[in-house]
Amino acid sequence: MAAKVSVKSKNGKVRRAIVVGGGLAGLMTVIKLCEAGIPVDLISLVPVKRSHSVCAQGGINASVNLKGEGDSPQIHMEETCLGGDFLANQPPVKSMADAAPGIVFMLDRMGVPFNRTPEGNLDFRRFGGTLFHRTAFSGATTGQQLLYALDEQVRRYETVDVTDDKGVTIPGEKMVRKFEFWDVCDLVIDDDGIVRGVVAQDLKTSEIRSFVGDAVCLATGGVGMVYGRSTNSVINTGSAAAVAYRRGAYYANGEFIQVHPTAIPGADKLRLISESVRGEGGRVWVPRDQNDKRKGKDIPEKERYYFLEERYPAYKNLVPRDIASREIFKTVVHEGYHTRPGVRAAFLDVTHLAKTPAAKHALRNKLEGVLEIYEKFAGEDPYENPMEIFPAVHYSMGGLWVGFEKNDRGGMKMGSPANAQTNLPGLFATGEADYEYHGANRLGANSLLSCIWGGMITGPAMASWRESVKGSAFDMDEGVFEKSAKRAREEFETYFKRTGSEFNENPFKIHDELAEEMLVKVTVERKNNELDGVIAKIGELNERFDKCAVLDTTPTGKMNQPAVFLRHLRGMLDLAEVIVRGARARDENRGAHYKPIFDPERQEAKDYTGEGAGKGRDDENWQKTTKAQYVGPKSAPKLSYEAVDVSLVKPRARVYKQASMDAAKGSLGASKEEPKGDVKAEAKPATT
Amino acid sequence: MAQETVTLKIKRGAGTGESTWEEFSVPLSPNANVISCLMEIRKNPVTKGGQSTTPVSWDSCCLEEVCGACTMVINGRARQACSTMINGPHGIAKSGETITIEPMTKFPRVRDLVVDRSKMFDALKRVKAWIQIDGSHELGAGPRVSPKDQEIMYPLSRCMTCGCCVESCPNYNDHSPFIGPFAISLVRMYNMHPSGKMHAGERLDSIMSEGGIADCGKAQNCVKVCPKAIPLTESIAVMGRETLKRALFGWLLK
Ligand SMILES: Cc1cc2nc3c(=O)[nH]c(=O)nc-3n(C[C@H](O)[C@H](O)[C@H](O)COP(=O)(O)OP(=O)(O)OC[C@H]3O[C@@H](n4cnc5c(N)ncnc54)[C@H](O)[C@@H]3O)c2cc1C
Ligand code: SF4
Ligand code: SF4
Ligand code: FES
């Protein structure tokens, strides 16, 4: 599908689109734009090949059904909606699940070395929240392999010339121009409110300039650094999303932060131990005797408490992440179990899978990358000793609000400019930076899928937008662009005036304080009085931010990391406020968002005298998307709410305790018969 | 008990400007690594001698040795700072000892420990390190691949362009056009793939010209330092045979 409009603007410039971020979502968007004949400027904080997507270990979901289990995209869609506790709009989920098998085939054609069956077919493993083998994988570094495959395709476009409408090469213009080590720090918005470009800073030289684009996409990933230590890469400060939010884009469902059940506690990072370890048969347990000082491997079977298996006989160790995290948290923090006295951790055990050399070889083949991380960073051999793990902040279900257009089959209409577009016209968002597919909780291996699918719809949406937009940004007065760049330059320069004795705060320490507060009070369990405390603390940190010193006034202008960090810190303070305010307001339990007063099994609920004690999920009042809008510096965001489109799968209680696979399949299949259209949500409490 | 510390001795400077060494004393915490120490320094940028200074600039991203960003020369060896543990069984220093940290030498320095590795990415362009697909639209299942071939290709695909191999290679430097062992190894991978094979000749040609495989002196340094244990010298040997075949019989095969 070639673009119908000319590749050149009226005054003869090449009309480019801008994609910010070169993770899976950004790269896929670039590929789709190039296939539509649209040249792209790709801007990224780090060389795109080092983007955070490389961290993904476990795999990517697609109901290809190569194991003869009767899996289908329909079931995938239903399980994703259920896993997300019915907070995701269902048409986008349907389209994603339908496209998934084709996506995995495409990746395979691009040369991803997926694991294979003896017959040479793709192999699939099990992940949380499903009973099917639905996850394709490439060793234990699937994200790395997928990112490299897309990176290579984009690199190919770096060598392809742009041609004009008659097919003649335009000298010096390539389909993709990469700007790596550039930090996007503002948007260019014209008088009609249309986004026409971005402002970015070259980190190597500190130069700030604007970029012109006929459509702009933010594919800038998650926000884990708001919590300091998480499973995320250190660049995941959410800075670009914060920029868009400051300029008026809605930030949706910020309060839904996924805490992954199994990570290695660490000083600088909480390194993930992938769910695939449990998918391959890893078991979670604690010693029954809380005073047991023996090493895990020396504790006999009957003295081990496999609490997930006992509490969830059907899904066992593969219950969805929010549930597993909460159970581990409860067992260790509230019930006092641990791996050994004084250590806050549970065991994740694969030693039973490595009893013979052959079994060990097979396990290594599937999980080497993951187990290697444990061995390297914890200094113990996971084939010999059970691993010590604890939950860690992992993924943001929330993100920039984006729209979609429905088709007559109940999915998304491909090529509609409404898809993936934020409320700022001309600004698109995709990947972990958006809020679209995962509702209140993401199922394992669904993110790589949503990132690539996101790119597949965002590219065509941007192409349509570019066709219909009034006037090209490339024909606009350059003054608009220069004005935005100048404002960003001036702000950056004010940092260098922060040198007197009154600037006595260290921004890295302010970040530590923010992170500590968020980690303790805004993760697995949330209490309203504590959230009020966090809000007050953020207010205090905002004041102290104004007293932060720049730390580095070297006039060389080369790579001034502390000054750039000030900008990112300001964004993190804004996003933290969005997360906490959203959590404070949402009085119910749904997916990753959990308040003990609404859990009928908790003492807190019994003691609670306010309204709705122990009510669980509250569909009547809360089956809606949170939208946070920036009001001004140091002010609370304005929260508004939007109904969720549940036209395909009728909301029901989220139970993972069923006894058999047939029961699970049956109950899911049943919803197929539900009438399409506006099904009224039932207000059923969640029981788990 | 006195706080246990280690000393980080860091080579600093920007661009082609002069270099200076600064020492920092950092408290030892459990499971500390070189990055966590650099993070400590920026929270309190004061040298061991009590001088206030600027925080050290460094490059990092994943902190789990999979992105390749944080390569630096630590105690004389190029490796990832994030997975270089200070203490514990793989630790490099005991309390009171000094760790020396320098930027890699084979790339232009940006600032302190940050270097510009663009030329590694340029090498990937030169060798056409990609599969030529018809498009990203649906075209059905990909080609079948035997588990045996997958077991060869997967390790090759884990190269994270970190630069350790070229830092250690005597034939890779500013004045030589040598593309480096990592790029040759990736040619091997793409040339094995069932559809990548269809363009094997082009990739072979790209490593048979100046700066290609002939520039490797078989010193075998690279394979010893690759953090992902990529069989670089094996790849070079395989590609050596392939390029030789093409040089001798290429006109027949075409
Ligand atoms: C340890 C770990 C394991 C995971 N495993 C799995 C798994 O097995 N399966 C699964 O489905 N999901 C997994 N996930 C989740 C998944 O990896 C991520 O959600 C996904 O990779 C995000 O991709 P993305 O393209 O949205 O963003 P990213 O890959 O994070 O890329 C963001 C890009 O934006 C750029 N950027 C950011 N800010 C700016 C700025 N201000 N200016 C310019 N550029 C900017 C960055 O440079 C980068 O290129 C895992 C996550 C983690 C942390
Ligand atoms: S074998 Fe030696 S010369 Fe050849 S690439 Fe490796 S280190 Fe360089
Ligand atoms: S081959 Fe090994 S050492 Fe060389 S860049 Fe790749 S991962 Fe690094
Ligand atoms: S930070 Fe990614 S390899 Fe060290």
When pLDDT is cut at 50, 70 and 90, the band that residue B251 belongs to is: low
Q: Please indicate, yes or no, whether residues A212 and A273 belong to a single structural domain of this protein.
A: no
Of the residues A463, A485, A507, the one at which a domain ends:
A485
Q: Please indicate, yes or no, whether residues A131 and A200 belong to a single structural domain of this protein.
A: yes
Region B5-29 average pLDDT? 95
Of the residues A470, A485, A500, the one at which a domain ends:
A485
Give the model's pLDDT for residue A321: 87
Of the residues A485, A509, A528, the one at which a domain ends:
A485
Region B125-151 average pLDDT? 95
Q: Which residue has the tokens 């007050």?
A: A536
Q: Which residue has the tokens 């061995």?
A: A375
Which residue would you say has higher pLDDT here, B56 or A500? B56
Separation CA B80–CA B83 (nearest Å)? 6
Classify residue B65 by its DSSP letter. S
Percent of residues, chain B, with pLDDT higher than 90? 89
Give the model's pLDDT for residue A352: 95
Q: Please indicate, yes or no, whether residues B125 and B75 belong to a single structural domain of this protein.
A: no
Give the model's pLDDT for residue A685: 32
Of the residues B69, B99, B115, the one at which a domain ends:
B115
Phi-psi region of B86 (alpha: psi -120 to 50; beta: other; left: phi over 0): alpha
Highest mean pLDDT among A55-59, A592-596, B89-93: A592-596
Q: Is residue A674's pLDDT more than 60?
A: no
When pLDDT is cut at 50, 70 and 90, the band that residue A661 belongs to is: very low
- Ranges A172-186, A648-662, B187-201: which has the least confidence: A648-662
Region A392-403 average pLDDT? 97
When pLDDT is cut at 50, 70 and 90, the band that residue A658 belongs to is: low
**pLDDT digit string, tens, across residues A589-622:** 999 999 999 999 899 999 999 999 999 999 999 9
Q: What are phi and psi of A294, to 5 degrees?
A: -70, 160
Separation CA A134–CA A125 (nearest Å)? 6
Overall number of domains in chain A:
3
Q: Please indicate, yes or no, whether residues A430 and A344 belong to a single structural domain of this protein.
A: no
Which of A139, A152, A508 lies at the smallest CB-CB distance from B42?
A: A508
Q: Which residue has the tokens 């280690």?
A: B6
Classify residue A397 by its DSSP letter. S
Which residue would you say has higher pLDDT here, B61 or A57? B61
Q: Is residue A676's pLDDT more than 50?
A: no
Sheet containing A182-189: order of strands:
A182-189, A195-202, A208-212
To the nearest whole Å, the CA of A640 is away from the closest chain B CA by 35
Q: Please indicate, yes or no, whether residues B103 and B197 belong to a single structural domain of this protein.
A: no
When pLDDT is cut at 50, 70 and 90, the band that residue A46 belongs to is: very high
Give the model's pLDDT for residue A320: 85
3-state secondary structure of A592: coil
**pLDDT digit string, tens, across residues A161-203:** 999 989 999 999 999 999 999 999 999 999 999 999 999 999 9
When pLDDT is cut at 50, 70 and 90, the band that residue A667 belongs to is: very low
Sheet containing B20-27: order of strands:
B20-27, B5-12, B98-102, B71-74, B77-80
Which of A139, A234, A373 lies at the smallest CB-CB distance from B60?
A: A234
Q: Is residue B194's pLDDT more than 90?
A: yes
Q: Please indicate, yes or no, whether residues A481 and A500 belong to a single structural domain of this protein.
A: no
Q: What is the CATH number of the domain that holds B18?
A: 3.10.20.30
Q: Which residue has the tokens 């159970």?
A: A327
Q: Please indicate, yes or no, whether residues B241 and B145 belong to a single structural domain of this protein.
A: yes
Separation CA A579–CA A226 (nearest Å)? 10
- Ranges A80-84, A262-266, A409-413: which has the least confidence: A262-266
Average confidence score pLDDT of chain B? 94
Check CB contact under 8 Å for B157 and A159: no
Q: Please indicate, yes or no, whether residues A337 and A384 belong to a single structural domain of this protein.
A: yes
Helices A561-585 and A239-246: crossing angle in degrees, nearest 10, is: 70
Question: Quick check: CB of B185 below 6 Å from ligand 4?
Answer: no
Give the model's pLDDT for residue A556: 56
Percent of residues, chain A, with pLDDT higher than 90? 81
Given a contact cutoff of 8 angstroms between Cβ atoms, the answer to whether A429 and A245 are in contact is no
Q: Please indicate, yes or no, whether residues A419 and A380 belong to a single structural domain of this protein.
A: no
- Ranges A242-246, A286-290, A293-297, B27-31: which has the least confidence: B27-31
3-state secondary structure of B246: helix
Give the model's pLDDT for residue B186: 97
**pLDDT digit string, tens, across residues A453-469:** 999 999 999 999 999 99
Average confidence score pLDDT of chain A? 92
**Alpha-helical regions (H) of A549-646:** 561-585, 603-607, 619-622
- Asked, for residue A647, whether it belongs to a domain, the answer is no
> Across chain A, which distance is largest between two alpha carbons, in Å?
79
E strand intervals along A144-191: 161-163, 169-174, 176-180, 182-189
Of the residues B115, B138, B167, the one at which a domain ends:
B115
Separation CA B51–CA B22 (nearest Å)? 10
Question: pTM value?
Answer: 0.94
Q: Is residue A4's pLDDT more than 70?
A: no
Q: Is residue A23's pLDDT more than 90?
A: yes
When pLDDT is cut at 50, 70 and 90, the band that residue A656 belongs to is: confident
The span from the first CA to the last CA of chain B, in angstroms, equals 75
Q: Is residue B250's pLDDT more than 90?
A: no
Separation CA A246–CA A137 (nearest Å)? 38
Which residue would you say has higher pLDDT here, A400 or A676? A400
- Asked, for residue A327, whether it belongs to a domain, the answer is yes
Question: Quick check: CB of B228 below 6 Å from ligand 3?
Answer: yes
Give the model's pLDDT for residue A499: 84
Q: Please indicate, yes or no, whether residues A217 and A279 belong to a single structural domain of this protein.
A: no
Q: Which residue has the tokens 């095969």?
A: B253
Q: Please indicate, yes or no, whether residues B127 and B220 belong to a single structural domain of this protein.
A: yes
3-state secondary structure of A73: helix
Which residue would you say has higher pLDDT here, A354 or A129? A354
- Asked, for residue A93, whether it belongs to a domain, the answer is yes
3-state secondary structure of B94: coil
Q: Which residue has the tokens 């200094």?
A: A379
The alpha carbon dihedral of A396, A401, A402, A407 has a sign of: positive
**Residue A479 burial (C-beta neighbours within 10 Å; 0-12, 13-18, 19+):** exposed
Which residue would you say has higher pLDDT here, B59 or A557? B59
Given a contact cutoff of 8 angstroms between Cβ atoms, the answer to whether B99 and B7 are in contact is yes
A377 neighbourhood in chain B, CB within 8 Å: 31, 33, 64, 83, 85
Check CB contact under 8 Å for A558 and B15: yes
Check CB contact under 8 Å for B121 and A365: no
Helices B118-126 and A142-158: crossing angle in degrees, nearest 10, is: 70
Which residue, among A510, A516, A575, A500, has the nearest Cα to A540 in the 3D structure?
Answer: A510
What ipTM score was computed for the predicted complex, to two decimals? 0.96
Angle at A140 between CA A136 and CA A146, to 5 degrees: 60
Which residue, among A154, A142, A162, A153, has the nearest Cα to A180 in the 3D structure?
Answer: A154
Region A403-429 average pLDDT? 97
Q: Is residue B254's pLDDT more than 60?
A: no
Check CB contact under 8 Å for B66 and A35: no
Region A402-431 average pLDDT? 97
Radius of gyration, CA atoms only, chain A: 25
Q: What is the CATH number of the domain that holds B207?
A: 1.10.1060.10
Which 140-159 residues of chain A touch chain B by CB within 8 A?
Answer: 141, 144-145, 148-149, 152-153, 155-156, 158-159
Q: What are phi and psi of A159, to 5 degrees?
A: -100, 0
Q: Please indicate, yes or no, whether residues A480 and A490 belong to a single structural domain of this protein.
A: no
The token duo for A631 is 């009001």
When pLDDT is cut at 50, 70 and 90, the band that residue B98 belongs to is: very high
Q: Please indicate, yes or no, whether residues A229 and A267 belong to a single structural domain of this protein.
A: no
Which residue, among A317, A327, A378, A321, has the nearest Cα to A348 in the 3D structure?
Answer: A317
**Alpha-helical regions (H) of A432-558:** 447-468, 478-495, 507-521, 528-545
Q: Please indicate, yes or no, whether residues A346 and A380 belong to a single structural domain of this protein.
A: yes
Separation CA B155–CA A260 (nearest Å)? 27
CA of B166 to the centre of ligand 1 (A): 28
| Ligand 1 environment, Cβ below 6 A | A 20-26, 43-46, 48, 51-53, 55-60, 142-143, 182-184, 219-222, 231-232, 235, 239-240, 272, 274, 394-395, 431-433, 445-448, 451
Region A552-581 average pLDDT? 90
Please count the helices (runs of H) and the strands (runs of E) in chain B.
Answer: 8, 7
Q: What is the CATH number of the domain that holds A76?
A: 3.50.50.60
Q: Please indicate, yes or no, whether residues B124 and B175 belong to a single structural domain of this protein.
A: yes
Question: Quick check: CB of B220 below 6 Å from ligand 2?
Answer: yes
Residue A8 to residues A3, A164, A176, A477, B112: CA-CA distances in angstroms?
A: 12, 7, 15, 16, 42
Q: Please indicate, yes or no, whether residues B62 and B153 belong to a single structural domain of this protein.
A: no
Give the model's pLDDT for residue A266: 82
When pLDDT is cut at 50, 70 and 90, the band that residue A239 belongs to is: very high
User: Residue A31 belongs to what domain range?
Assistant: 12-259+395-485
Angle at A636 between CA A632 and CA A642, to 5 degrees: 105
Choose which residue among A150, A396, A448 to substitute to test ligand 1 binding: the one with the highest number of ligand atoms within 8 A of its C-beta. Answer: A448
Q: What is the CATH number of the domain that holds A343?
A: 3.90.700.10
Give the model's pLDDT for residue B252: 62
When pLDDT is cut at 50, 70 and 90, the band that residue A657 belongs to is: low
Which 75-94 residues of chain B touch chain A by CB within 8 A?
Answer: 82-83, 85, 88-90
- Asked, for residue A286, whether it belongs to a domain, the answer is yes
Overall number of domains in chain B:
2
Give the model's pLDDT for residue A500: 86
When pLDDT is cut at 50, 70 and 90, the band that residue A153 belongs to is: very high
